[in-house]
Amino acid sequence: MFGELLRSARVAGSTGCVEAETGRLHRRALWSILLISLTPCLLALATAKVRAESGNATVASSDRTAREEAVRAIPWKQLAEPQRRKLQYVVQNASMYRRLPTRVIDCDPDLFTFLLQHPQVVVDVWQMMGVSKVTLQQVADQSYRANDGAGTTGSVSYMYANWGPGAQNLAVIYADGAYDGKPFIKPLRAKSAIILQSGAVQETNGRNYITVRVDSFVCIEQMGVQLVAKTVQPWINKTADRNFIETLGFVSTFSQTAEKNPQGMQRLAARLPTVDVPTRNQLVSLCYRAAQRYAKDDAATSAAPYVLAQRVEFPAGK
């Protein structure tokens, strides 16, 4: 049961990157804080080495045009005043901005949205597989406390979420995190804002392909550390891009495993320690629905995605 996901995690193994010790420590600290805010659904995949999905992608960017587009996508008028002030502070004072590579993955739209709505499912799965020490505690509706087990802690919450049919989603996530460890004498604090947009199309082969775009704003509080951030930003960007792509590869594999083995997913759901019964039942129902939906394609070989990212229109901010 669940062997395909486990094999995917084992195949990739270690990245084997060799870097200077100081560079590794700096990158680990800064990237951990960024990870705390890369949507709750992705938290557990910080250290995952999963085989990436090979779909189409646009190049990552940090340019002014992408940044301005990301700001316009935020539904400012629909945010409460305290939320708007927090978000404006991060966006206006961001030490780093990054638009991660836009990706297209083969995934059931309903399952994709479910995993975004219920990040504790992903966290529990990765803990069961032994590839993550991240813990996620729900403290309120769509608000969580996270700990990566390596010195990074933080709170993550959805400031805004519009879950549309066919994975037509727009979510604005806010995080306040801290890293306490070497090489810093005092805890390193940062605030982050993430804008996640997604949409799906069904191709002629009957498969659904989801386009995902993430924009991240990170505000590091200590001024001196901002210089460090700029120094190691190329490493941070490379790591962020790689982990984002690998994460979506896992989400795609999760969906395809559900299509092929819903019974196994039902057994898996019963073992998730922090997930409540209604959420488990919803997961099981979605897995069986996905299996029924794609049953006619079981004998066919899944073709590589032939979807251009710009073909999907993301929800517009208001």
What digits encode the pLDDT tens for the residues 271-299?
Answer: 998 899 999 999 999 999 999 988 765 55
Neighbours of 69 (CB within 10 A): 17
DSSP state of 303: P
Give CA angle at 55 (49, 56), nearest 5°. Answer: 125
Res 218 pLDDT > 60: yes
Nearest one of 37, 242, 229 to 143, comparing CA atoms: 37
Is residue 5 within 8 A of residue 250, CB to CB? The reply is: yes
Instruction: State residue 266's pLDDT score.
Output: 94
Q: Which residue has the higher pLDDT, 253 or 309?
A: 253
Name the average pLDDT for the chain: 75
If pLDDT is split at 50, 70 and 90, which confidence band does 43 have? very low
Instruction: State residue 310's pLDDT score.
Output: 37
Instruction: State residue 132's pLDDT score.
Output: 73
Nearest one of 66, 89, 40 to 213, comparing CA atoms: 66
Dist. CA 220–CA 179, nearest whole Å: 11
